[in-house]
Amino acid sequence: MKKHTKYIAGLAGLLLLVAACSTPKDINYLQGLQGPEGIANTPKTITVQQGDRLSVFVKSKDNVLTEHFNISLPNMQNVLTYTVDSKGEIDFPMLGKIRLAGLTRQEAAERIKERLVSEFGTKDVVVTLDFTNLRISVLGEVNKPGTVSIDNDKINIFEALGKAGDMTIYGKRDSVMVVRQQGNEAKTYILNLASAQAVQSPVYYLQQNDIVYVPANKTRQRQSTVNGNTIQSTSFWISIASLLTTVAVLVFK
Do 97 and 164 share a domain, yes or no? no
Domain that holds residue 209: 135-216
pLDDT tens per residue across all 253 residues of the chain: 555 555 555 555 555 555 445 444 457 888 877 666 666 677 889 999 999 999 999 988 887 777 777 754 455 555 678 999 999 999 998 899 999 999 999 999 999 999 999 998 888 899 999 999 999 999 999 999 999 999 889 999 999 999 999 999 999 999 999 999 987 889 999 999 999 889 999 999 999 999 999 999 887 777 765 444 555 555 555 655 665 666 565 555 5
Residue 119 within any structural domain of the chain: yes
First to last CA, the chain: 7
What integer pLDDT is reported at residue 214 of this predicted model? Answer: 96
Residue 203 within any structural domain of the chain: yes
Do 123 and 81 share a domain, yes or no? yes
- Across the chain, the runs of DSSP E, i.e. the strands, are 53-59, 81-83, 89-92, 96-99, 126-131, 135-140, 146-149, 176-182, 185-191, 211-214, 225-226, 229-230
Residue 189 within any structural domain of the chain: yes
Do 13 and 59 share a domain, yes or no? no
Asked which of 131, 161, 189 is the last residue of a domain, the reply is 131
Cβ within 8 Å of residue 141, ≥6 positions away: 167, 168, 170, 171, 172, 214, 215, 216, 217, 220
Do 190 and 155 share a domain, yes or no? yes
Q: How many domains does the chain have?
A: 3
Contact of 107 with 99, CB cutoff 8 Å = no
Residue 48 within any structural domain of the chain: no
Asked which of 89, 110, 131 is the last residue of a domain, the reply is 131
DSSP string, 28-46: -SSBT--TT----------
Residue 222 within any structural domain of the chain: no
Do 93 and 147 share a domain, yes or no? no
For residue 108, what is the domain's CATH number?
A: 3.30.1950.10
Residue 188 within any structural domain of the chain: yes
Do 210 and 248 share a domain, yes or no? no
Report how far residue 52's alpha carbon sits from residue 115's, in angstroms, rounded to the nearest whole number. Answer: 21
Do 157 and 205 share a domain, yes or no? yes
Residue 32 within any structural domain of the chain: no
Residue 47 within any structural domain of the chain: no
For residue 181, what is the domain's CATH number?
A: 3.10.560.10
